[in-house]
Each structure stands twice: as C-alpha cells, then as structure tokens.
Amino acid sequence: MLGSPQLMDTLKGIGLNLYERKLWVALLAKGVATAGELSTITNVPRSRTYDVLQTLAEKGYVILQSSKPLKYVAVPPSEALERVKLKMKQDYELRIDRIDRLKSSSLLQELEAIHKQGLTTVSPEDISGSLKGKYSVLQQLDSMLKSATSSVNIVTTPSGLNELYENHYNMLKNLKQKGIEIKIASKIDNSCGDAVKALQEVAEIRKIADEKIPIGGKFFIVDNQQTMMSLSHPETSDTQHMMFWTKSEHASRDILNPVFNLIWENSHPTKK
C-alpha cells in the first residue's frame, strides 16, 4: 500500500471512497500516468478506473492531459485540498440557495400536501425509527421541542444536562415563555453545576436518588404524544450513540409517562 492506514482513513474522512483514495495516492506517487498504469498499481478494476479518475478530476484532485493514450496529472496535495475546499463551499452555498428558494415557492405547499395526505393512511404507531449519531439525535430532539404545545418531560444524565444547556437552552427558554411546562429529572454531580443553575430558570429540575431509582439512561416525552429514548450507554462515542423515537401516543402516555411520574415523585427538588 502506498499510503499508511492512518493517511487512507483521513482521506476517507474528507469524502474520498476506497477507489478514489487508492488512485489519487498512486497518481501522486507517479506524477503522470495512464488509467491502465494506475489500475495495475492499485488493483482497481480498469473498467472503474476511468470513471473514478473522471470524478477525481471534477473534484479537483486530478488534471486530464490531452494525449493518446489519455494521461492523468496529479495536482499537488496542498493545492488539491484547497481546490476541493473551495468547490465544497461553492456546492454548499448553491444547495442552501436552492433549499431557500424551494421553501419560499409553491412547491413547498405541494410537498406539505403530499406529506399530510400520506399520513392519513399511516397510524402514529408506525411513525417511528432509530437514530444513530449525536448529531441526528440533537436534530430530532430540536424538532420535538419545536412541536411542543403543553409539556416536556425529560429524564437524563449529568452529561445529558450539559448537552441540554449547550444545545437547547434557548429553545427551552422559548417554550417556558409560551407557558409550556418543562420537567427535568436527572442524576446530578459536580460536572453539571452550571447547567443545573441555568436550566432552573426555564424548567423544574429534580435530582434522581440513586438508592430509589437506579436508572442510567435518558428519555424525552413531548405532549405525551411522542417519545425518544436511549438505546446505547451514556458513555458511548458520539458516532455510535443511538436512540429510538416514536410518535406512538400509547407508548408516550401509557408506558413512559407513568415511568417518568414514578421517577419524578421519588426524586429530590433542587435548590436555586
């Protein structure tokens, strides 16, 4: 292998697939090469090599040289990365612009109508799924909180309290101003002192007593209509973090809400 495992993993992290990584590194080593030469060096099938090199050229890693046979020139690493960075930024700005235009057009109403029409044939219990990765979880929690109209009940951990403070404090503050009741039951330690102090301004917080409630995860209930609960250990890495979400009113109101009430009644009020 021309590149170290660490190098190849890093290139994967910036969006290069296996064939792209192999061919670009091989081309950097050669400087100039034909598709056939690179296919031989990397063991990438020749039938795929041409397409992958074309993609690398479009991304800014490779220059096509007009010759017979067609040759490819490696763009120096620092220059290539700067080109790719610029192109990614341009693509991102273009997509954001397209999204904004779609949101302000009549087509959004058509999408909303399709969604609402489809939901009439789907029971709330079927609207559920698992979420993997901290970012996906935070996004879903944000959506849940935005939809709240009456109550938000949360069971969490010390690190979960810090995440609520860092990522959702303003959202919870807005809900409080709208008169929505917010209750948070959590284990509390020295690591979350600032979070507790701040969140007390927008929610009623109680400390879970370990001796009474030996719970080690977290769940969220909004309006007794939708729920999200952890499936992985609180210390699991961000990318492997998993939670389950459902719009089942039965699961929210009849199963998890009684559990929340039991935890709440056996927890200690915190002092401001």
Nearest residue to 192 (alpha-carbon basis) of 213, 218, 212: 218
Q: What pLDDT score was predicted for residue 247?
A: 86
Q: What pLDDT score was predicted for residue 51?
A: 93
Nearest residue to 147 (alpha-carbon basis) of 230, 227, 223: 223
Pairing status of strand 181-186 against strand 151-156: parallel
Q: What residue ranges define each of the domains in the chain, with the CATH number in brackets?
A: 5-75 (1.10.10.10), 127-269 (3.30.870.10)
Q: Residue 203's pLDDT band (boundaries 50, 70, 90)? A: very high
- In tens, the pLDDT along 250-271 reads 889 999 999 999 999 999 998 8
- Enter the tokens of residue 61: 């890693």
Residue 271: how many CA atoms within 13 Å on its side-chain side? 0
Q: Residue 127's pLDDT band (boundaries 50, 70, 90)? A: low
Q: What pLDDT score was predicted for residue 182?
A: 97
Q: Rounded mean pLDDT of the chain?
A: 88
Q: What pLDDT score was predicted for residue 2?
A: 73
Residue 121 predicted with pLDDT over 70:
no
Range of lowest pLDDT (30-39, 132-141, 192-201): 132-141
- 64 DSSP β-pair partners: 72
Measured at the CA of 8, the angle between CA 34 and CA 136, to 5 degrees, comes to: 125
Please, are residues 182 and 176 in contact by the beta-carbon 8 Å criterion?
yes
**Peptide bond before residue 69 is cis, with ω within 30 degrees of 0:** yes
Distance, CA of 23 to CA of 25 (rounded, Å): 6
Sheet holding 226-230, edge to edge: 128-132, 242-246, 226-230, 219-222, 151-156, 181-186, 204-208, 267-269
- In tens, the pLDDT along 61-93 reads 998 887 778 899 988 899 889 988 888 898 889
Nearest residue to 157 (alpha-carbon basis) of 258, 222, 229, 225: 229
Please, are residues 245 and 261 in contact by the beta-carbon 8 Å criterion?
no
The residues, any chain, with a CB within 8 Å of residue 22's CB and separated by 6 or more, are: 2, 42, 43, 44
Burial of 172 (C-beta count, 10 Å sphere; 0-12/13-18/19+): buried
The residues, any chain, with a CB within 8 Å of residue 108's CB and separated by 6 or more, are: 102
- Enter the tokens of residue 34: 């034909």
CA diameter of the chain: 80
Q: pTM here?
A: 0.60
Q: Which DSSP state fits 76? A: P
Sheet holding 62-65, edge to edge: 32-34, 71-74, 62-65
Distance, CA of 164 to CA of 195 (rounded, Å): 8
